[in-house]
């Protein structure tokens, strides 16, 4: 039986205030990890209250991440809200639609043509070992396909009972509005943390439409925990300018005043980062990822922390003065 965290709503979907981002559980993201450790971490996350798991058919090789999630939810599917995304596993013979992104990725390729969407969902259902996806997102808008068309194909999956709720990931406010007119959107997933401000227009549109916000990389890929002093070989952050040796050292110095606030409160910097996010909007749900049970407990505990308005003002002032070395992320 899982511990309970406070409940939040993404549209009509109820989830714990802190979810779990599973990307960290596939090799080649944050370095090496084996499946035993991955499944143990994920089951621990569920036991400790983070019963909202975020994966993608694009994480790990050949649906690896979804298969790990499938293993962890076996026998306890009803306890867990399962979210996954599609578009990166381009079928044989289908065209790759490339687009540039910053951060560690350079260029990405998707295909979110409506004709492939049912096949993506069926493959994800097989990987996950379930018959329904609770929240299904196109991972990135396809630069060659109107988002409304992709969303129309997901709406058909909702109609067919394969998917419960529609999500969008990495979209603009205008794209959210256009998609929501085709089918109600439960959640929009976007990067948001103490070192990556949210797109104000997207937040305003989500609030107006009653769409929840799922905050990805809420710990800034680990940086905001204050524990990252170097990034090793085989870790994707090696390609991220903010994590280069020089910029990382500068950023750690620049975030010292933020860490000092956590210290004064007797909580960890990571908990402050998550609690701060939870205080930005009642419909925001961070999805931190971790392979380490003690870290998972620490992160989930942040879902129960109340920050005083004076503390929030102090954080706002500290963040206003930080100029992050390494430019923008995406």
By the 10 Å C-beta count (0-12 exposed, 13-18 middle, 19+ buried), 158 is classed as: middle
Q: Contact with ligand NAP (CB under 6 A): which of 218, 231, 248, 255?
A: 218
**C-beta closer to ligand NAP: residue 11 or 60:** 60
- Quickly count: other Cβ atoms within 10 Å of residue 194's Cβ: 23
Measured distance CA(131)–CA(161) in Å, rounded: 9
User: Residue 81 interacts with ligand NAP (CB under 6 A)?
Assistant: no
- Applying CB under 6 A, the span of 42-50, 74-82, 121-129, 212-220 interacting with ligand NAP comes to 212-220
* Residues of this chain, 133-172, that bind ligand NAP according to CB under 6 A: 169-170
How distant is the alpha carbon of residue 166 from its chain centre? Answer: 15
How distant is the alpha carbon of residue 71 from its chain centre? Answer: 20
CA distances from 206 to 137, 168, 175, 182, 189 (A): 16, 11, 11, 15, 11
Q: Contact with ligand NAP (CB under 6 A): which of 3, 4, 227, 239?
A: 227
Instruction: Tell me the sheet residues that pair with 187.
Output: 167, 212
Q: Contact with ligand NAP (CB under 6 A): which of 70, 141, 222, 303?
A: 222
Interhelix angle for 269-278 vs 256-265, to 10°? Answer: 90
Residue nearest to ligand NAP (CB): 21
Report, in Å, the least distance between residue 303 CB and ligand NAP: 13
From the list 20, 30, 59, 136, the catalytic residue is: 59
Q: Contact with ligand NAP (CB under 6 A): which of 16, 70, 141, 288?
A: 288
Active site residue 30: no
Write the DSSP assignment of 165-229 as a string of letters.
EEEEES--HHHHHHHHHHS-EEEEEEE-BTTB---HHHHHHHHHHT-EEEEESTTTTTGGGT--S
Q: Contact with ligand NAP (CB under 6 A): which of 181, 292, 316, 328?
A: 292
**C-beta closer to ligand NAP: residue 238 or 292:** 292
User: Residue 212 interacts with ligand NAP (CB under 6 A)?
Assistant: no
User: Residue 24 interacts with ligand NAP (CB under 6 A)?
Assistant: yes
Round to the nearest angstrom and report the end-to-end CA distance of the chain: 39
Report, in Å, the least distance between residue 274 CB and ligand NAP: 9
Instruction: Tell me the sheet residues that pair with 190.
Output: 215
Q: Contact with ligand NAP (CB under 6 A): which of 120, 289, 301, 324?
A: 289
Q: Contact with ligand NAP (CB under 6 A): which of 11, 16, 21, 141?
A: 21
Total interface residues for ligand NAP by CB under 6 A: 28
User: Residue 220 interacts with ligand NAP (CB under 6 A)?
Assistant: yes
User: Residue 49 interacts with ligand NAP (CB under 6 A)?
Assistant: no
167's tokens? 């999500």
**Phi, psi of 279, deg, nearest 5:** -90, -5
How distant is the alpha carbon of residue 144 from its chain centre? Answer: 24
- Applying CB under 6 A, the span of 106-114, 128-136, 173-181, 217-225 interacting with ligand NAP comes to 217-225
User: Residue 63 interacts with ligand NAP (CB under 6 A)?
Assistant: no
Catalytic positions, please? 59
Interface residues with ligand NAP (CB under 6 A)?
21-24, 30, 54, 169-170, 189, 216-222, 225, 227, 270, 287-292, 295, 298-299
């Amino acid at each position: 039986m899982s511990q309970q965290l406070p409940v939040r709503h993404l549209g009509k979907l109820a989830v714990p205030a802190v979810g779990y981002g599973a990307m960290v559980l596939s090799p080649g993201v944050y370095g090496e990890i084996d499946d035993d450790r991955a499944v143990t971490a994920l089951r621990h996350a569920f036991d400790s209250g983070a019963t909202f798991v975020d994966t993608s058919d694009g994480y790990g090789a050949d649906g690896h991440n979804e298969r790990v999630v499938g293993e962890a939810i076996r026998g306890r599917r009803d306890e867990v809200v399962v979210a996954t995304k599609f578009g990166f596993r381009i079928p044989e013979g289908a065209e790759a639609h490339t687009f540039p992104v910053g951060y560690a990725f350079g260029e990405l390729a998707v295909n979110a043509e409506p004709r492939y969407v049912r096949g993506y969902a069926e493959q994800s259902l097989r990987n996950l070992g379930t018959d329904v996806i609770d929240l299904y997102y196109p991972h990135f808008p396809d630069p060659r396909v109107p988002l409304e068309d992709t969303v129309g194909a997901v709406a058909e999956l909702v109609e067919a009972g394969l998917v419960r709720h529609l999500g969008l990931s990495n979209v603009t406010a205008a794209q959210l509005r256009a998609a929501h007119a085709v089918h109600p959107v439960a959640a929009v997933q976007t990067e948001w943390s103490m070192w990556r401000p949210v797109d104000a227009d997207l937040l305003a549109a989500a609030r107006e439409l009653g769409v929840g916000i799922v905050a990805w990389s809420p710990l800034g890929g680990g940086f905001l925990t204050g524990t990252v002093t170097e990034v090793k070989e085989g870790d994707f952050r090696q390609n991220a300018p903010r994590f280069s040796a020089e910029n990382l050292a500068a950023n750690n110095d620049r975030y010292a005043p933020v860490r000092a606030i956590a210290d004064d409160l007797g909580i960890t910097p990571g908990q402050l980062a998550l609690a701060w996010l939870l205080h930005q909007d009642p419909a925001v749900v961070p999805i931190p990822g971790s392979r380490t049970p003690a870290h998972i407990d620490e992160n989930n505990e942040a879902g129960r922390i109340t920050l005083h308005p004076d503390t929030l003002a102090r954080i706002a002032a500290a963040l206003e003065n930080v100029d992050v070395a390494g430019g923008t992320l995406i």
